[in-house]
C-alpha cells in the first residue's frame, strides 16, 4: 500500500486553498504585477525534477551575447533570507545550490535570490538599471509577478501518469493550471522520440491555440570536471564509479553512467541535501571499500555546489557531470525564434 494515499484528506484541503488563491488572482482580488523589463518565468506544477536550471542555462546561452541578463530565484535550501546578490565566493548554504551553479558558470550574469519576487525585480532594476532580461526561476506558482512569457516544464516520464496534489502526490497544482502558461515544454524526452509518441503527448496535453508546445532532452557531457580543481576527464568504461546524488530525480544520470562506465554503488540523498558529518563519513567509507584503483566519485553539478566546501573530501577524486538541454530538431528553430522575438533580439 502507498501510505501517501492516507494523506488524501490533506490533499483535498490543500487543493481547496490552491483553488481559492488562484481564483482570487483570476478575479483581480489578488494583484498580478507586470514589469516593463522582459521577464521570462520558468516553472512546473510538480515538486521538482523537471530541469528548470538547465533550461535557464539554455536561455542564457541563447540571449546573452548582447543582452544584460539577471536571474531571480528564492534560493531554495539556503539558510539566509531576504535579497542577496550571488557571488562566486558564496556557498550553497548562503544562496542556494542552483543560483550558485548559475553564477559559477555565467560570471557575467546578475544572479539574485529573494523570496519576495516583486521586491527582487525592483531591486535588480535599481542596482543594475541596464538589465534587459530577467529570468524568473520556479515562478509558476508565484502569481504576484506576471511574467511577460511563462514557460511551464512537464516531465516526459510523468505526463501520462495520474497523480494527486500534495501531500498525497507530487502536484503543486491541478493539471488544469497548465492553461496559464504561454509555452509548454515536455522535458527529459528521449532523444529518439518518435513522431507518433510526440503526437500522442500533444493530444493528451491538448494545449490551447495560443500556447506553444516544444520537446526537449537532457544531454550529458562526456567530459566530467573536478569539484575541487580545473582537472577534466572523459568518462570511460574503465572507470569504477561511486555515484553521489542529492537531486529530485537521479534516474537519468544513473542510466547514463551504466551505459558509459561501471557503476559500483549509488548513494542517494534527498533533493538539495545539506551534507552532514554522517553523510560525509558514509561517502568516504563506501568509496574506500571499492578495491579497483581506477575509481572516482561522480556527482551532479548542483550537488557539486554543496560538496565543494567540504574539506574532508578534498583528497578524494570527486567529479561532476555537466548537462545541457537539447531541443527536438523540429522545435529548436521555432523555440529560439520565439524567445529572441520576445526579448527584442534580432
What CATH number does the domain containing 237 carry? 3.40.50
Residues 188 and 268 occupy one common structural domain: no
Cα separation, 73 vs 243, whole angstroms: 28
Residues 236 and 332 occupy one common structural domain: no
Residues 15 and 160 occupy one common structural domain: yes
Residues 19 and 168 occupy one common structural domain: yes
| Residue 91 covered by a domain | no
The whole-model pTM stands at 0.96
Residues 336 and 198 occupy one common structural domain: yes
Residues 258 and 207 occupy one common structural domain: no
Residues 211 and 228 occupy one common structural domain: no
The boundaries of the domain holding residue 9 are 3-67+132-219+325-343
| Residue 160 covered by a domain | yes
| Residue 232 covered by a domain | yes
Q: Residue with C-alpha cell 546578490?
A: 85
| Residue 141 covered by a domain | yes
Residues 183 and 146 occupy one common structural domain: yes
What are the pLDDT digits (tens) for 126-166?
999 999 999 999 999 999 999 999 999 999 999 999 999 99
| Residue 228 covered by a domain | yes
Residues 278 and 236 occupy one common structural domain: yes
Cα separation, 283 vs 116, whole angstroms: 37
216 touches 155 (CB < 8 A): no
Enumerate residues 6+ apart whose C-beta is below 8 A from 320. 224, 225, 227, 298, 299, 300, 301, 303, 304
Residues 231 and 285 occupy one common structural domain: yes
What are the pLDDT digits (tens) for 5-50?
899 999 999 999 999 999 999 999 999 999 999 999 999 999 978 9
Looking at the structure of the chain, the number of domains it has is 2
Residues 233 and 295 occupy one common structural domain: yes
What are the pLDDT digits (tens) for 287-331?
999 998 899 999 999 999 999 999 999 999 999 999 999 998 889
| Residue 273 covered by a domain | yes
Residues 278 and 184 occupy one common structural domain: no
| Residue 267 covered by a domain | yes
CA 159 to chain centre: 17
What are the pLDDT digits (tens) for 126-135?
999 999 999 9
Q: What is the radius of gyration, based on Cα positions, of the chain?
A: 21
Q: Please choose, from the candidates 317, 277, 312, the residue with its C-alpha nearest in 3D space to the C-alpha of residue 296.
A: 317
Amino acid at each position: 500500500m502507498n501510505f501517501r494515499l492516507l494523506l488524501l484528506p490533506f490533499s483535498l484541503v490543500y487543493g481547496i486553498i490552491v483553488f481559492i488563491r488562484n481564483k482570487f488572482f483570476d478575479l483581480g482580488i489578488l494583484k498580478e504585477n507586470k514589469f516593463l523589463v522582459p521577464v521570462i518565468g520558468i516553472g512546473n506544477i510538480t515538486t521538482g525534477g523537471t530541469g528548470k536550471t538547465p533550461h535557464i542555462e539554455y536561455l542564457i546561452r541563447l540571449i546573452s551575447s548582447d543582452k544584460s541578463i539577471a536571474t531571480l530565484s528564492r534560493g531554495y535550501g539556503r539558510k539566509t533570507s531576504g535579497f542577496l546578490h550571488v557571488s562566486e565566493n558564496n556557498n550553497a548554504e548562503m544562496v542556494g545550490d542552483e543560483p550558485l551553479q548559475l553564477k559559477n558558470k555565467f560570471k557575467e550574469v546578475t544572479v539574485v535570490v529573494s523570496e519576495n519576487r516583486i521586491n527582487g525585480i525592483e531591486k535588480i532594476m535599481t542596482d543594475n538599471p541596464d538589465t534587459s532580461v530577467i529570468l524568473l526561476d520556479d515562478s509558476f506558482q508565484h502569481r504576484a509577478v506576471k511574467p511577460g512569457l511563462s514557460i511551464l516544464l512537464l516531465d516526459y516520464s510523468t505526463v501520462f501518469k495520474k497523480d494527486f496534489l500534495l501531500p498525497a502526490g507530487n502536484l503543486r497544482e491541478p493539471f488544469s493550471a497548465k492553461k496559464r502558461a504561454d509555452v509548454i515544454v515536455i522535458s527529459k524526452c528521449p532523444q529518439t522520440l518518435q513522431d507518433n509518441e510526440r503526437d500522442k503527448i500533444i493530444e493528451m496535453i491538448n494545449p490551447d491555440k495560443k500556447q506553444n508546445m516544444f520537446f526537449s532532452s537532457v544531454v550529458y557531457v562526456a567530459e566530467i570536471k573536478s569539484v575541487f580543481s580545473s582537472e577534466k576527464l572523459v568518462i570511460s568504461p574503465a572507470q569504477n564509479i561511486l555515484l553521489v546524488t542529492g537531486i529530485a530525480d537521479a534516474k537519468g544520470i544513473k542510466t547514463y553512467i551504466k551505459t558509459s562506465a561501471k557503476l559500483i554503488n549509488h548513494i542517494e540523498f534527498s533533493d538539495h541535501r545539506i551534507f552532514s558529518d554522517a553523510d560525509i563519513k558514509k561517502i568516504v567509507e563506501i568509496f574506500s571499500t571499492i578495491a579497483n584503483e581506477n575509481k572516482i566519485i561522480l556527482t551532479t553539478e548542483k550537488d557539486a555546489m554543496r560538496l565543494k566546501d567540504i574539506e574532508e573530501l578534498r583528497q578524494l577524486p570527486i567529479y561532476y557531470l555537466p548537462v545541457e538541454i537539447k531541443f527536438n530538431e523540429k522545435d529548436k528553430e521555432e523555440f529560439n525564434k520565439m524567445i529572441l522575438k520576445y526579448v527584442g533580439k534580432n
